[in-house]
Amino acid sequence: MPKTQAGVPAGTPANAGTRPAAEQVSGLPGRMRAARIHEYGDASVISLDEVPVPRPGPGEVLIEVAATSFNPSEVGLRMGLLREVFGATLPHTLGWDVAGTVVTGAGDLVPGDRVIGLIDAAAAEYAVAGADLLVRAPRRIPPEAAAAVPVAGLTAWQAVFEHARIGPGTRVLINGAGGGVGLFAVQLAKHAGARVVATAGPRSAAAVRALGADEVVDYTTTPLPGGNDVLLNLVPGAPDAVSGLAEDVVSIAGPIDHPRAVRFVARNDPGQLAELVALIDRGVVRVEVDARPLASLAEVHRAAERGLTRGKIVLKVAK
């Protein structure tokens, strides 16, 4: 199973979006649009190409993609900083989150099933994935919102339940609660019975508070409070000084100098993803997104590098 980076899918094809064209299903086009990079560099290397529709192998399904999402780690991938982690070959189709409809089935998935999952090459009109990597999409939310769930949701799930082991009465400080992972982490920690102190900037504070945070700290004006049981660090480049704010530290964004710090790489876990879908359908977890067209992906990358994005951005693919 290939290595992964904070919430990036493991167990997926190296780059499914570059496979040969599919044997045609009735009504299926031979070619499609895909957001790709042909070289490493700044956001200008992202192009919307016309490529063959991919062909599923044994145990794989073909998905008509409704939406994918932007994850900050993709900036590093695009710049060539994560080549050893992903081993991606060029040209490379972007996108790790998929929400869409099964076109050709495998396993217990049949045409017409709505699915989500962590896969490779999801920023395209069609994608292939192992049937065992997918789960049925939440019924309560539209496909573009469902595309926000796999990477960010699983990263938050594993941070809260596996590594921080947050439970009733835990006081948790979530540093970076206004991002895609943070918005899930706030809700999951509250669901676990924790007291949640969340850091957020002025643009995202209201959203974080609305999702249940007990206290929201504007990190631009206010020192972060200490006395916490656990710190979830979701902010790249966070100073080591934050490690003194809690007894235990869990970080997805970089190493922190703390004797009881855990830095983890999220893994693909369809079982956990199915549990998260159940919480969404019960109304326990809300999913709020900023939906944009796939053609705006390069613009999103530029905004992310300038620190101008907030929340979870999804890219609508379906015409």
Report CA-CA distances (Å) from 222 to 173, 200, 217. 14, 11, 7
pLDDT digits (tens, 9 = 90+) for 137-191: 999 999 999 999 999 999 999 999 999 999 999 999 999 999 999 999 999 999 9
User: Of the candidates 22, 195, 186, 12, which has an alpha carbon nearest to the alpha carbon of residue 98?
Assistant: 12
Question: pTM of the prediction?
Answer: 0.89
Adjacent-strand bridge partners of 216: 198
Q: Which domains does the chain have, with CATH numbers?
A: 16-149+287-316 (3.90.180.10), 152-263 (3.40.50.720)
Q: Each residue of 65-76: pLDDT tens digit?
A: 999 999 998 998
HSE-CB at 203 with a 13 A cutoff on CA atoms is 8
